[in-house]
Chains A and B, each alone.
Chain A
Amino acid sequence: MQEMMVKRAVELLENGTVDRVLGWTTGEFAYDMTPAVFRSADDLKNGFVYNDFCAANLSKYLIKECVAGGKILVFLKPCDTYSFNQLIAEHRIKREMIYVIGIACEGKADIDKLKDMGIDGITGITAKDGVYTVATIYGDATVKATDAMAERCLSCKSKKHMAYDELIGEDGDVVADCGRFDMVEKLEAMTPDERYEFWRGELSRCIRCNACRNVCPACSCEKCIFDNPGSGVSQKAAVNSFEENMFHIIRAFHVAGRCTDCGECTRVCPQNIPLHLLNRKFIKDINAFWGEYQAGENPDAKPPLGRYEKGDREPGEFGGVQA
């Protein structure tokens, strides 16, 4: 796979279709795959990596690249293409400046799960027939892929690319019953007291590192209101439970109807807060209240908070299972 990608990228660089390539390279650790820009065939051959640790959604990085000009080749997994479309819809990136190669994805490995299995000293990973072979300094370890896969990938909503100029590998299908709302339903079924305890337990761990915001393709404001002293609500660090709640409620609200459920927020949270459960609640609500809507599916679709029906439900009529 990696070889095919590099080969094609080199071709497109050399025939002048693009002038740089957005992909992944090895970061501080072998499992820490970082987005990177490659400008030459040599760069690509030396640095480009694609494996089952390459989880980062590259679409957000296109905002910066589009400002810089030129033409960019980007590799997008199916879930990334939803973010890509959403950014197109919001005029944050320019379609004509981007050449998209869609790449198939079978789900990415979760390093924390591997480490919990006692696998250390990781130097690489390969996947075949649903089994990860993890190379370590102590030798290879094999694990069943679904045992070590990121949660978001286990409830993957789509293996189908929503946008691409060409594909490497086969395009998949939208997954009908992905079960991504199971946990939201479980929470909805709890009593308010239980829910309160659950969320305090999670959100109180927030250290306001802003990783969730910075990685989120929907959180791409020129200046976040939480960073803007003029907004009247700026905070550097959440100093108490209110501010922890406030930041996450407002963040979820700001991306409501725009969040494609790419799951990057939860992936990057150093405190392992299941932030996606906030976004998924809104997605589930939107589907239940105003009809199925998947952000990023169609860049021309009208977002749910940008339209209305006269017969919309009233606030306070709650959906879902209630205790």
Chain B
Amino acid sequence: MQDVKEFRPTIVAFCCNWCSYAGADLAGSSRLGYPADVKIIRVPCSCRVNPLFILRAFQRGADGVIMAGCHPGDCHYTSGNYFARRRMTLLFSMLDYLGIERERTRVEWISAAEGAKFAKTMNEFVATVTALGENKRLEDLRCKK
């Protein structure tokens, strides 16, 4: 008899328009499911993802943030994901340094042809974040009910 509500994480996925968002579309049209906890935000390129957005998501109650872009070398804008990769490398390292669970953030390169990889990645990520539980270390209590 459980009266505690089952924990469902909130997950924000930043997807680049050209590869990963298309990969998500392919996952959809192939009916490859992943939990509804994942909500996608479309950005032109992974290099558009500002660390501010990721912190903002955690502030507003996200339990996990994932950024997906074109595979290195395949960026629609040639070099965007290379810069994104460096930025996220630093940001994630800093979050880890501050003792924030490193599993709450993730970067994955998913092409437009990789619908299966998109679904698999999201399933894995949701499982990981669900196991971690609620984001407590980087939360803003005012933003929670």
- Residues of A bordering B, CB below 8 Å: 187-188, 192-200, 225, 233, 239-240, 242-243, 245-246, 249-250, 252-253, 256, 278, 281-282, 285-286, 289-290, 304-305, 308-310, 312-319
- Which of B4-12, B33-41, B78-86, B115-123 lies on the face that meets chain A? B78-86
Per a CB cutoff under 8 Å, which of A250, A290, A305, A316 touches B87? A305
Question: Is there contact, CB below 8 Å, between A310 and B90?
Answer: no
Q: Is B124 at the interface (CB under 8 A from chain A)?
A: no
- Given A195-B99, A242-B140, A249 contacting B51 (CB threshold 8 A): yes
> How far apart are the CA atoms of A282 and B59 in the complex, in Å?
23
> How far apart are the CA atoms of A281 and B93 in the complex, in Å?
9
A-B pairs with beta carbons under 8 A, tally = 112
**In the complex, chain B residues 103-145 whose Cβ is within 8 Å of any chain A Cβ:** 105-107, 137-142
Question: Is there contact, CB below 8 Å, between B82 and A315?
Answer: no
- Given A249-B55, A308-B85, A192 contacting B99 (CB threshold 8 A): yes
- Given A196-B137, A246-B59, A305 contacting B102 (CB threshold 8 A): no
Say what secondary structure dominates the interface of chain B.
helix
| 10 additional A-B residue pairs with CB within 8 Å, beyond A240-B141, A243-B140 | A192-B99, A192-B100, A192-B102, A194-B99, A196-B100, A233-B56, A242-B138, A252-B94, A289-B89, A314-B107
| Residues of B close to A290: CB separation below 8 A | 86
> How far apart are the CA atoms of A242 and B139 in the complex, in Å?
6
| Residues of A close to B59: CB separation below 8 A | 242, 246
Question: Is there contact, CB below 8 Å, between B89 and A281?
Answer: no
- Residues of B bordering A, CB below 8 Å: 51-52, 55-56, 58-59, 72-73, 79, 82-83, 85-102, 105-107, 137-142
Determine how close the nearest CB of chain A comes to the CB of B58; give it in whole angstroms. 8
Question: Can you name 18 A-B pairs with beta carbons within 8 Å?
Answer: A187-B97, A199-B99, A240-B141, A242-B139, A246-B59, A249-B51, A253-B87, A289-B89, A304-B86, A305-B83, A308-B79, A310-B72, A313-B89, A315-B107, A316-B89, A318-B96, A318-B102, A319-B93
- Given A253-B90, A289-B89, A290-B86, A316 contacting B102 (CB threshold 8 A): yes
Question: Is there contact, CB below 8 Å, between A312 and B85?
Answer: yes
Per a CB cutoff under 8 Å, which of B82, B97, B106 touches A312? B82
- Given A187-B97, A195-B98, A250-B52, A308 contacting B83 (CB threshold 8 A): yes
Determine how close the nearest CB of chain A comes to the CB of B114; give it in whole angstroms. 16
Question: Is there contact, CB below 8 Å, between A316 and B107?
Answer: yes
Q: Which residue of A lies closest to B87 (CB)?
A: A305
> How far apart are the CA atoms of A290 and B49 in the complex, in Å?
21
- Given A187-B97, A197-B99, A246-B59, A253 contacting B82 (CB threshold 8 A): no
| Residues of B close to A193: CB separation below 8 A | 99
Q: Which residue of B lies closest to A285 (CB)?
A: B93
> How far apart are the CA atoms of A74 and B55 in the complex, in Å?
40
Question: Is there contact, CB below 8 Å, between B100 and A253?
Answer: no
- Given A240-B141, A282-B94, A196 contacting B87 (CB threshold 8 A): no
| Residues of A close to B142: CB separation below 8 A | 239-240
> How far apart are the CA atoms of A98 and B101 in the complex, in Å?
47
Q: Which residue of B lies closest to A286 (CB)?
A: B90
